[in-house]
Amino acid sequence: MTRPQPSWSAVLLRTLPRATPLHRMWAGTKLVVLLAITVTCLALPGWGAVAALIGVVAVAGATARVPMSVVPRPPIWFWLLLAVGAAVALLGAGLALYVQALVISFGVLGLGLLLGWTTPLDEIPPALASLGRPLVRVGLPVETWAAAVGISLRTLPLLVEEIRVITAVQRARRPPSAPRIQALRRAARDGVDLCVTLLAVTVRRAAEIGTATAARGGTPLVARRAVHLVGADLAAFGAAALTVAAAALYP
Amino acid sequence: MSASGNGSARAVAGRAALTAAEFGAAGVLGGLAAAIIAVGKVLPHAGALEILATIPFAVLAAQRRPRAVLTGAIAGGTVALLLAGLGAFITVGGCAVVGGAAGWVKAHGRGGWAVLGSALLLGPLAGLAADAMLLLFAPLRALAIGSVRHVAAGAAIALHPVPVLGPTAAYLRDLVGLVTDAWWLWIPVAATVAAVGGMLVTWRLLGAAIARLAPVHGEGIGDLAQEPDAPPPVPLPVSMAGIEVRHPGAEAPALVVESLAITPGSFVVVTGTNGSGKTTLLHVLAGAPVTAGRIDRPGPVGLGRVGGTSLVLQRPETQVLGMTVADDLAWGLPEGYPVDVDGALAEVGLAGLVERPTSALSGGQLQRLAIAAAIIRRPALLLSDESTAMVDSAGREGIVALLAELPRRHGITVVHVTHFEVEAQAADRHIVLAGGRIVRDGAPAPAARAAPAAARPEVVASPSPGPVLDARGLGYVYAPGTPWAHVALRDVSMHVAAGEGVRIEGGNGSGKTTLAWLLAGLLVPTSGSCTLGDRPVHRLPGAVSIAFQHSRLQVQRPTVDAEIASAAAREFASRDEQILFARRALALVDLDGDVAERPVDALSGGQLKRVALAGILARDPRVLVLDEPFAGLDPDSRDALVGTLVRLREVRGMAIVLITHDLVGADRLCPRVISLRQGVLV
């Protein structure tokens, strides 16, 4: 047996039990900074952006004291594929571009993971409501949207558990030995069954959540929470500004 | 009334705010789409799955107004952004557009041509939007086009010496060059091809999904239009005369009430079997419309409003809407409403749990939280819809005691609907329903201590030919090596012999569900071993059968006969043979053979449980693991199920491992009891 590996569902959107500046930061700051850095890296993908991104991820990861054990480890064939891609790019004289594209994809993904590891989920809907406040003036139901995000987040663990049970049932149903071609057909059918079963359960849950919402007096507005920006928030805005500057200066 | 149940959502005026049902559907289905996309992005080989994320939006659009689809897209997009980044956000947007269009076409009764037309419209639009983005972000364009060209050029060089592949690669390189030169043209073309393909896949799957979901129709409470400017609620006293409620498409009315009055200040318990109309009665009290008859109230029902009517529901995990206890109590309350959080929590026995995430609460605790959220609104009327059905017997008593005190303590009138006759003991008034009619109404009858079936001790005479299932030093750790590592089970040794019944007992978090998964070979133990014969059970998929608590996850094929054949891992040459096989299996669980041809989504909860079990039994397992098989069953169904299982254990020598915290009938089925506390045998 290989060494135990956490499954993706075990590490995504789970808060690390720590008290670091990143944990104290307002969820809205993290969302804005994440979006700003992502857009910068897409708009100006150069060495400046790459360097700034690596720096931000490294500093934030160290500040949040993220242990290596929670970082998802892709399987070996994934790395092989990357290596083949690099070799081909090298032959085509495009290794620099290849590395830039790769680092930016991983860096942006890393920022997202950091947000998940340092932000309790219940802080996200109020932060969205606060960030979307200007849109309320235009007449958009931002607070209802934020509440819907809350429902999505609230039902996510139920979905994960349901996928676990459905696939377990399918594993137990597989005949002890089957020809390969049948196994393939079965895999395709299992995939569709998984989705339809999940959908059947989810549609029922949607009706139940609807009833529960009515029982609380109808479609709600998410209560904004008071926002207290701390030093860490300013540092995060600084990091975003630095990334923009680096990307613009060294495109 | 020929429209299906969800059609009523369309009755809501076009520009009105989202109804509760639309809101729930948007949040839940948007979350499903986000989860599908995230799985596709995180697991590279599952990328093709992402196309399936159009289906939730298509179902949403087929049943609800466009603004619900928009809300779902925003909710799903945000969650996808958190899970897997900006790319996932954009993918959710695309899926919402494609799925929304397909669903809209379906809802308006148009056919394949409309689908194709909308794809031909949306594809180029999306392509032009992408063009505009790339024009704006020139460096990104250079990066994207550059990397594709370099890879093509590199491949051509690498493959040059190879006979056939070499020229092909060179040809491809030139083709890539041509395409990337005219990127502004090819992106809309590619987007159109993708839109047409995606739309066709969505359309096919949507047909299958809608066919399966047709029998699922909501109870309609969430579809009621909201009344923000209504006068203050005065739901009581309420009196009904000549009421009839008929669900769309049903032959018989669900409820017929000649006359009924509920006056303030009492604890009323309503009992009856599944399908007796008790939930329908409750919904009428909550303001659901009736087909015929007259209801008199002094003022509006005020569902969920302060001083109005509160509703506590059956399923713990779908009626608690906030992510922390404090969040949930405040959920939906008007701004500035004084909330005595600590007082409310203390009253329901949850003192000190304010900051606790709701996902960490047990079923009983969630139900108490729901009651706290109800009484914090100081309702005149509190309706409890089988709120004790999913809770263990100890938790049940606590909840009934809590409900019984509310009339005296706060002057809240309580109407509690339940399967369990015992719960009427504390009531001021006991209403019994059967077949949609009131058959008894008055003071509760004195406790008739019906000696349970356990009174006749069964002889456990089955021969024990050594252990079938043998666990030695079994241990399991979730998320090992991370800060979330959690030891669920530690050094458990046990054995189960043929024909033996073992019940595993323990509270929440005792590790009994993990043990069930290990015994069934669905998890690989992190320490120790579990063997069947002399092979590890996780290498023998299906040898040990397991029936999960949530039968809807277990029953995965569209019809009962297909389900039973699939669960038994059998293939049949014709449907007739399959139906015959299913009928024999259904007989084992005392279900009528005619059920065999029905769609699974049309079955009641009790029937579904038995169908799931019939499929498992048709495989003739040596060991059967049952996880909470009685949750949500009424006493009659439960007795029948216990009888069936006892027979199978004694006659066929099937070993049964039972996990339940419900003791009624359990001793008869499983005389031996094993106790787990925090992952350790005691």
- What pTM does this model have? 0.88
Does residue A62 surpass a pLDDT of 90?
yes
Strand B238-245 vs strand B292-296: parallel, antiparallel, or unpaired? antiparallel
Q: Which of B77-91, B373-387, B474-488, B626-640 has the lowest mean pLDDT?
A: B626-640
Q: Tell me the nearest-neighbour CA distance from A189 into chain B, angstroms.
A: 10
Which residue from A minimizes the CA distance to B135?
A: A43
Question: What integer pLDDT is reported at residue B396 of this predicted model?
Answer: 84
Does residue B163 surpass a pLDDT of 50?
yes
Running DSSP on this structure, what letter comes out for residue B277? S
**For chain B, what is the mean pLDDT?**
85
Question: What integer pLDDT is reported at residue A235 of this predicted model?
Answer: 93
Cβ separation B24–A206 shorter than 8 A:
yes
Q: Cβ distance B579 to B596 under 8 Å? A: yes
Q: Does ipTM come in above 0.85?
A: yes
Residue B585, amino acid = A
Q: Terminus-to-terminus CA distance in chain A, angstroms?
A: 46
Q: Which residue has tokens 């397909």?
A: B102
Per residue in A12-60, pLDDT tens? Answer: 778 888 889 999 999 999 999 999 999 999 888 889 999 999 999 999 9
Q: Compute φ and ψ for B264, nearest 5 degrees.
A: -65, 150
Cβ separation B313–A108 shorter than 8 A:
no
Q: How confident is the model at residue B462 (pLDDT cuts 50, 70, 90)?
A: very low
Residue from B217, B387, B482, B564 to probe the interface with A (highest A Cβ count within 10 Å) = B482
Q: Which of A184-188, B334-338, B597-601, B652-656 has the lowest mean pLDDT?
A: A184-188
Does residue B124 surpass a pLDDT of 50?
yes
Report the alpha-carbon angle B100-B104-B105, nearest 5: 120
Strand B381-385 vs strand B413-418: parallel, antiparallel, or unpaired? parallel
- Cα distance between residue B616 and residue B3, in whole Å: 37
Residue B487, amino acid = V
Tokens of A28: 């809205």
Residue B447, amino acid = A
Q: How confident is the model at residue A130 (pLDDT cuts 50, 70, 90)?
A: very high
Q: How confident is the model at residue B412 (pLDDT cuts 50, 70, 90)?
A: very high
B140 — contact with chain A (CB < 8 Å)? yes
Chain A residues with CB-CB distance to B304 below 8 A? 214-218
Question: What's the gap between Cα B305 and its chain centre?
Answer: 27
Q: Cβ distance B30 to A148 under 8 Å? A: yes
Cβ separation B24–A159 shorter than 8 A:
no
SS3 A105: helix
3-state helix vs strand vs coil in chain B, percent to 5: 50, 15, 35
Cβ separation A211–B78 shorter than 8 A:
no
Q: Terminus-to-terminus CA distance in chain B, angstroms?
A: 59
B439 — contact with chain A (CB < 8 Å)? no
- Cα distance between residue B158 and residue B452, in whole Å: 80
Strand B486-497 vs strand B309-312: parallel, antiparallel, or unpaired? unpaired
Q: Cβ distance B92 to B52 under 8 Å? A: no
Question: What integer pLDDT is reported at residue B324 of this predicted model?
Answer: 86
Cβ separation B311–A156 shorter than 8 A:
no
DSSP B210-275: HHHHTT----SGGGSPP-TTPPPP---SEEEEEEEE--TT-SS-SEEEEEEEE-TT-EEEEE--TT
Sheet containing strand B623-627, strands side by side = B544-547, B623-627, B655-659, B501-505, B672-677, B680-681
Q: Which residue has tokens 């199978």?
A: B648
Running DSSP on this structure, what letter comes out for residue B50? G
Q: Cβ distance B669 to B643 under 8 Å? A: no
Question: What integer pLDDT is reported at residue B455 of this predicted model?
Answer: 40
- Cα distance between residue B478 and residue B278, in whole Å: 42
Give B67's contacts (C-beta < 8 A, 6+ positions apart): B18, B22
Question: What integer pLDDT is reported at residue B26 of this predicted model?
Answer: 95
- Cα distance between residue B488 and residue B518, in whole Å: 11
Return the CA Rg of chain B: 29
Q: Cβ distance B102 to B58 under 8 Å? A: yes
DSSP-assigned beta bridge partners for residue B259: B241
- Cα distance between residue A73 and residue A106, in whole Å: 12
Q: Between B318, B327, B484, which is nearest A208 by CB?
A: B318
DSSP-assigned beta bridge partners for residue B599: B559
Count Cβ atoms within 10 A of the Cβ of residue A2 and give its class: 0-12 exposed, 13-18 middle, 19 or more buried: exposed
Question: What integer pLDDT is reported at residue A128 of this predicted model?
Answer: 93
A4 — contact with chain B (CB < 8 Å)? yes
Cβ separation B479–A11 shorter than 8 A:
yes
- Residues of chain B with pLDDT > 70, as a percent, come to 92
Cβ separation A172–B545 shorter than 8 A:
yes
Does residue B444 surpass a pLDDT of 60?
yes
Helical pair B635-652 and B605-617, crossing angle rounded to 10 deg: 10
- Cα distance between residue B52 and residue A196, in whole Å: 10
Question: What integer pLDDT is reported at residue A180 of this predicted model?
Answer: 65
Does residue B382 surpass a pLDDT of 90?
yes
